[in-house]
Chains A and B, each alone.
Chain A
Amino acid sequence: MIIAVASGKGGTGKTTISTNLALSLTDQVQLLDCDVEEPNAHLFIKPEILEKHTVTIPVPQIDRAICTLCGKCAKICAYNAIAIIAKQAMVFPELCHSCGACKYFCPAGAIKEVNHEVGFTELGSKNNIQFIHGQLNVGKAIAIPVIKAVKNHIDKTKTVIIDAPPGTTCPTIEAIKGSNFCLLVTEPTPFGLNDLILSVATLKKINIPYGVIINRSNLGDNSTEQYCNQEDIPILMRIKFDKKIAAAYSNGTPLINIYPEYRQHFGDLLKKIKTIVETP
């Protein structure tokens, strides 16, 4: 089973949930940190890293000796990643989506694709957890290829937990699509609720079942609870704000280390998710 942990708003506790869930389970677990812009799960899991792979995307390279400057590539590129400037065809790899159209349509056969590095993935382990994360290189705009590279390691025989990036756009969707269930982590403030509503709309669009975890449930107001009740969205867990939890988090200490009873809560959470997923 694949469980994604997501939220519209950042800083609501996605990493807290995904890492503590992974650490609480006794079966074989895969934890994938797909927030490749700002990966944090490793700070809490502290895995032993065993492998590192670079992530590259194919981008066009133009052989100037063959190029006739016809401009077809620049015309068909939907992303303006190729331009003819001062009698030279220029490639802007940052804008390229690697669709391959320029190479296919070049009448002179002057375009080949070369690998352009955009980030890396690392694989490691900690007890029963296989840990995989990716990092987008600083200065690169498009996170999708790195997220795909992380997800390529999914082993469906294990309980797979995906820590998704915040938001509702392409990186978040790339991280959560294909999951059996999505946990939406929120906080009971107008910001949290506003972004939860966006996340719910996203999940409805891509048709993945979901439930809500309310973090810092004793702060803010009860409009998030009301919203979930009205919309018939299951609230699967509530975690109170507590300075002890915040202080442990600040040091990279998992919640279950300071409140061991949460192991049981996270185990129960998995059971609840299984019941929802398996109910037709």
Chain B
Amino acid sequence: MKQLAIISGKGGTGKTVITSAFASIADNKVIVDCDVDAANLHLMLNPKILEHNIFKSGFTASIDRSKCTRCLKCLKNCRFNAITKNLTIDSIACEGCAFCYNLCPVGAITLEENIAGEWFISETKYGPFVHAKLGIAEENSGKLVSLIRKQAQTLAKEQNKNLIIIDGPPGIGCQVIATLANIDSALIVTEPTVSGLHDAKRVIELAKHFTIPIMMLINKYDLNLAMTKNIEQYCEQQNIILVGKIKFDTDIVNAVTNKKPIMNIANIKLKEQIQKIWHTTYNNL
């Protein structure tokens, strides 16, 4: 079984559009949206939810005022400023370290497991889809990413799917690290802008750090042809496979606006181009 993740470093370069296009072309696969913080792939795939699960993770402390002797040990030792002067817990600041719980001499502090989000197994026109929704202002997004990726792998084994296509989150932090763990290849979608390239380089460094093979795709390449050339040269120097480049095309905006994968909406030329990009990506996986 092969696993491909689509990442970018910078947000808004076109990860989800590309993932949804691949999802509509590729055979025999499971699709996963690992951008659990601001998930969008479901908007393109119109999933029918088959299974709905709660994601419990981490703890939040609470203080039982009737038992509390106001010794202030908790307040003095909390490094997250999560205990207010009135001895209440600021649940957003609390990182669930349980220091206060272990410290309280009268057992006035209890820990409650957080409901940090939800995750789903769905059916789509394009195959099974595992996705999630982290709760507002919740933590542990990396854990949720790992969890849904594991579910996708189980599903792929059960249903004899030989490919997992993952829509990744932006950035280089915990969610991205959890997305990259043990995948076969990462496709980096970039754009010919100073920030696109700057961010792509950081995420390439991250992939190299975890020895993940990478490929690159330049989206909206005609916005800056000189910069596109720079990126092409960079790929050549770094021995990175450039799977293709896509023009800025209003058909792509229309696809997003109409919530349909590009392959259902685009002009023939763009469709052929994306087909080709998919085959190059798949052959190098």
Task: Show the binding face of A for B, using Cβ within 8 Å.
Answer: 8-12, 15, 37-38, 40, 43, 76, 78-79, 97-101, 104-105, 136, 138-143, 165-171, 173, 177, 189-191, 194-195, 198, 201-202, 205-206, 219-221, 243, 246-247, 249-252
Contacts and interface: CB of A to CB of B under 8 A. Distances in A.
A251 B224 CA distance: 8
A140 B205 CA distance: 12
A170 B63 CA distance: 23
Given A78-B59, A99-B99, A190-B259, A142 B195 contact: no
A40 B79 contact: no
B257 A38 contact: no
B171 A38 contact: yes
B144 to A, nearest CB: 10
A198 B98 contact: no
B172 interface: yes
Contact of B256 (A79, A100, A191, A206): A191
Interface stretch (B23-31, B122-130, B132-140): B132-140
Contacts of B173: 37, 136, 140-143, 171
Contacts, number: 173
B97 A220 contact: no
A58 to B, nearest CB: 9
A166 B141 CA distance: 14
16 contacts: A8-B37, A10-B11, A11-B11, A76-B98, A101-B97, A167-B169, A169-B138, A171-B171, A189-B256, A190-B43, A195-B40, A206-B137, A220-B256, A243-B223, A246-B223, A251-B193
Contact of B193 (A10, A97, A250): A250
B194 A78 contact: no
A78 B96 contact: yes
B117 to A, nearest CB: 10
Nearest to A35: B171
B249 to A, nearest CB: 12
A10 B198 contact: no
Given A143-B173, A252-B194, 12 more contacts: A9-B40, A37-B173, A40-B194, A100-B79, A143-B171, A167-B170, A169-B37, A173-B92, A189-B253, A191-B43, A246-B220, A250-B192
B103 interface: yes
Contact of A205 (B102, B136, B195, B205): B136
Contacts of B210: 139
A64 B195 CA distance: 46
A8 B11 CA distance: 10
Contacts of A167: 37-38, 169-171
A101 B173 CA distance: 24
B131 interface: no
B265 to A, nearest CB: 14
B174 A142 contact: yes
B92 to A, nearest CB: 6
Contacts of B194: 40, 43, 250-252
A194 B206 CA distance: 29
A190 B257 contact: yes
A43 B99 contact: no
B11 A168 contact: no
Contacts of B224: 247, 250-251
Contact of B136 (A76, A165, A202, A246): A202
Interface string B35-67: 001101001000000000000001100000000
